[in-house]
């Protein structure tokens, strides 16, 4: 096989090489430079931003409309991101939420309602409240930085969230409505595939399960010009230290342990048992397609499902290799539908729709505000209306196997269950497909198999030799959100700066 690494690569020397130019990697580099350390950021894509991505879709008249293909929302608990948006001179605006919301019950009945209480029957509402209260109590007992230390960690990690809810309740509608907030709403996996401990972490990271079920809290604000603007602004400040379109193919990071060699069976020496001095400065060489970087530290700022895209020399210790095999991305289609006007508002609707277990389980008014790189005006709301919807896990798989027109028709029909027949007539339509993105391979973030969080979670933020980890997938506060990515990048950078000062 032909090597993808250019033997004529220029070689540069830096204090730290950062692999990945999403919010975590760029925040790490930004913080390191402020601490006086030199950096090189190597990004596989031809853009920065990772799972935040500003895009466009064109209508039949040739008008370009702005859409956020990836992560976009900020909730009040995401304080570090809120601070950073302000520090970078960016602005945020509130999601439209005036008017009645829609709930579609399991039998397909459409209900208009106000407030946060679904118009289900009293028994189901009472069951939902009871289950949410139990989750709130479990989340209050957890340290989000150490979920594996929860007093019931192994027990909760050994049972799927769905099975656990079914042990507590026989109300299927209540179970569907409660599980959606973690399953299709966050982890984008069926609720029978991840553990209750993983669900409790999701709630704890948001401050409580009650926060998680409150869409006005979780989906509070957006960044004017798109969330990718955070990364674009950070990258601009880093200038030529950011190298795009250059996947890292090899990372040389440690000397093999001679005692592990087995000449009789032709097994070369490695570091299967780990290395001494995790976190301390070392000799790192990152070989990418366009540049080779020699450094004292590395920050691996990509989601864990992509770690194995890099050849580590020597291979990672055995515990890391095993742990990384039990972390995987979910799957979700983000639906963008553009209309001549936000017609639902004229009908007294907020644009918010919810239906547990349905093809499109959530829909929201996602109309743009302010200046962006498509048709837009500063300090004004877009005259066009935008809806965003989500098709998750098994439904997403089903949709990708359909012809494009049938897929579009099915999805718009499902959205019309909430907001009526006008929903079927967008002037532009686009589906975000992060699963097809070579350097993402899923959405929104990674999570563990059953039993994995309590078994291997303690490894995820521990440095391996001079290699540090930073991404939203392994965050405490802000888990699976841009806020978590920013926090993890900053945490890794500050830890490296402390170690560098000792060297």
pLDDT by residue (tens digit) across 273-299? Answer: 999 999 999 999 999 999 999 999 999
Peptide bond into 138 cis (omega under 30): no
In this predicted structure, the answer to whether residue 491 has a pLDDT above a threshold of 80 is: yes
Confidence of residue 5 (pLDDT cuts 50, 70, 90): low
Residue 430 has pLDDT above 50, yes or no: yes
Contact 242, 45 (CB under 8 A): no
- Give the pLDDT of residue 1: 41
Cα distances from 148 to residues 192, 207, 232, 474, in angstroms, run 20, 17, 35, 13
Q: Give the whole-angstrom CA distance, residue 351 versus residue 336.
A: 13
| Mean pLDDT score across all residues of the chain | 96
- The pLDDT, as a whole number, for residue 262 is 97
Condensed to tens digits (0 to 9), the pLDDT of residues 41-66 reads 999 999 999 999 999 999 999 999 99
Provide the pLDDT for residue 503. 75
Does the structure show a pLDDT above 90 at 149? yes
Q: Report residue 485 as tokens.
A: 């990515």
Percent of the chain with pLDDT over 70: 99
Instruction: Give the separation between CA 486 and CA 28, rounded to whole angstroms.
Output: 8
For residue range 348-381, list pLDDT tens digits in order.
999 999 998 899 999 999 999 999 999 999 999 9
Average pLDDT over residues 219-232: 97
Query: What is the pLDDT averaged over residues 173-187?
Result: 93
pLDDT digits (tens, 9 = 90+) for 99-145: 999 999 999 999 999 987 778 889 999 999 999 999 999 999 999 99
**Mind listing the pLDDT tens digit for each residue in 382-408?**
999 999 999 999 999 999 999 999 999
Q: Which residues contact 313 (CB under 8 A, 6 or more apart)?
A: 250, 251, 252, 253
Q: Decide if pLDDT at 308 tops 60.
A: yes
pLDDT score of 4: 56
* Mean pLDDT of all residues in 415-419: 98
> Could you give the angle at the alpha carbon of 180 between the alpha carbons of 425 and 153, nearest 5°?
155
pLDDT over threshold 70, residue 333: yes
Tell me what the mean pLDDT of segment 84-110 comes to.
96
φ/ψ (deg, to 5) at 81? -65, -40
124, two tokens: 């189901």
Is 393 within 8 Å of 382 (Cβ atoms)? Answer: no
Question: Do 301 and 489 contact (CB within 8 A), yes or no?
Answer: yes
pLDDT of 116 reads: 73
Stated pTM of the model: 0.96
């Amino acid at each position: 096989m032909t090597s993808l690494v250019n033997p004529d690569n220029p070689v540069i020397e830096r204090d730290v090489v950062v692999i990945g130019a999403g919010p975590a990697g760029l925040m790490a580099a930004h913080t390191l430079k402020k601490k006086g350390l030199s950096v090189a950021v190597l990004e596989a894509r031809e853009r920065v931003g990772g799972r935040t991505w500003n895009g466009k879709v064109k209508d039949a008249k040739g008008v370009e409309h702005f859409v956020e293909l990836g992560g976009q929302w900020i909730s009040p608990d995401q304080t570090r991101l809120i601070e950073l948006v302000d520090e970078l001179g960016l602005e945020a605006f509130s999601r439209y939420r005036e008017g009645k919301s829609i709930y579609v019950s399991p039998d397909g009945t459409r209900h208009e309602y106000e407030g946060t209480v679904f118009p289900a029957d009293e028994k189901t509402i009472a069951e939902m409240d009871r289950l949410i209260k139990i989750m709130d109590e479990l989340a209050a007992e957890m340290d989000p930085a150490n979920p594996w230390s929860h007093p019931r960690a192994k027990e909760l990690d050994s049972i799927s969230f769905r099975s656990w809810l079914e042990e507590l309740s026989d109300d299927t509608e209540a179970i569907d409505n409660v599980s959606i907030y973690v399953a299709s709403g966050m982890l984008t996996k069926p609720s029978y595939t991840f553990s209750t401990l993983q669900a409790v972490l999701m709630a704890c990271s948001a401050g409580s399960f009650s926060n998680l079920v409150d869409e006005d809290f979780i989906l509070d604000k957006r960044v004017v010009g798109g969330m990718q603007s955070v990364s674009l602004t950070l990258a601009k400040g880093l200038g030529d230290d950011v190298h795009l379109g250059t996947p890292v193919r090899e990372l040389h990071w440690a000397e093999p342990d001679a005692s592990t060699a087995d000449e009789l069976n032709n097994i070369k020496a490695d570091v299967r048992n780990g290395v001494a001095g995790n976190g301390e400065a070392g000799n790192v060489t990152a070989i990418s397609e366009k540049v080779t970087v020699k450094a004292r530290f590395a920050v691996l700022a990509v989601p864990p499902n992509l770690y194995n895209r890099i050849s580590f020399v020597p291979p990672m210790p055995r515990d890391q290799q095993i742990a990384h095999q039990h972390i995987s991305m979910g799957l979700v289609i983000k639906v963008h539908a553009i209309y001549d006007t936000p017609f639902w508002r004229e009908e007294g609707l907020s644009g918010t729709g919810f239906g547990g277990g349905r093809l499109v389980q959530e829909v929201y008014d996602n109309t743009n505000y302010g200046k962006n790189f498509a048709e837009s005006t500063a300090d004004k709301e877009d005259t066009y209306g935008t809806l965003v919807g989500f098709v998750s896990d098994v439904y997403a798989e089903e949709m990708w196997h359909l012809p494009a027109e049938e897929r579009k028709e099915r999805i718009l029909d499902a959205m019309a269950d909430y907001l009526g027949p006008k929903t079927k007539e967008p002037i532009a339509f686009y589906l975000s497909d992060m699963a097809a993105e070579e350097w993402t391979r899923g959405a929104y973030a990674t999570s563990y198999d059953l039993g994995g969080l309590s078994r291997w979670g303690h490894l995820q933020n521990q440095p391996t030799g001079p290699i540090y980890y930073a991404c939203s997938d392994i965050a405490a506060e802000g888990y699976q959100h841009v806020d978590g990515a920013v926090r993890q990048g900053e945490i890794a950078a500050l830890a490296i700066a402390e170690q560098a000062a000792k060297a």
